[in-house]
Structures are given as structure tokens and as C-alpha cells.
Amino acid sequence: MGQPKKLSESRELKLLLPVEQDDFLILLGKLGKGGRDRVEIATHILVRELQALERDRYHERRLPKPENS
């Protein structure tokens, strides 16, 4: 899944999720093949989304400054 190729090159990340999203991760694990646990699924989703942001050069976008009220 979204696990780094070399675990020595990974970092631990502690996350707090709303109960509803955690329940959904558990459901996805039960529906999927191979019986993935919620941590594996969450890692896969997070890595995939971060790779998409990087690929789309999200960090290089210039966002307009908010107007002063």
C-alpha cells in the first residue's frame, strides 16, 4: 500500500481523527481484500494525497491575500 519502500526512511506520525472517519477506515479495511487494518489504509490515503499535491506543485501556487475588512 502506501508504506515507504524503506522503513528506515520513514517517520512516525500521530494523528487524531474524528470517530466517524476512524469507523470509516475500519469499514474500508473489512471491505477490502487482504484484511488491511485502519492504520495501513490511512497511511495509503495520506501518502497518495500528499504525492498528488506534490505532483500538482501545490506548494508553488500563489494564493491571493485576503482583502482587508
Q: What is the pLDDT along the chain (69 residues), one digit of tens a residue?
A: 555 566 568 888 999 999 999 999 999 999 987 778 999 999 999 999 999 999 998 888 877 778 875
pLDDT attached to residue 69: 57
How far the first Cα of the chain sits from its last, in Å, is: 46
User: Taking the model in full, what pTM does it have?
Assistant: 0.69
Residue 33 located in a structural domain: yes
> What proportions of the chain, in percent to the nearest 5, are helix, strand and coil?
55, 0, 45
Is 2 part of a structural domain of the chain? no
Q: What is the pLDDT of residue 67?
A: 82
Q: How many domains does the chain divide into?
A: 1
Q: Which domain holds residue 22?
A: 17-60
Are the beta carbons of 15 and 42 closer than 8 angstroms? yes
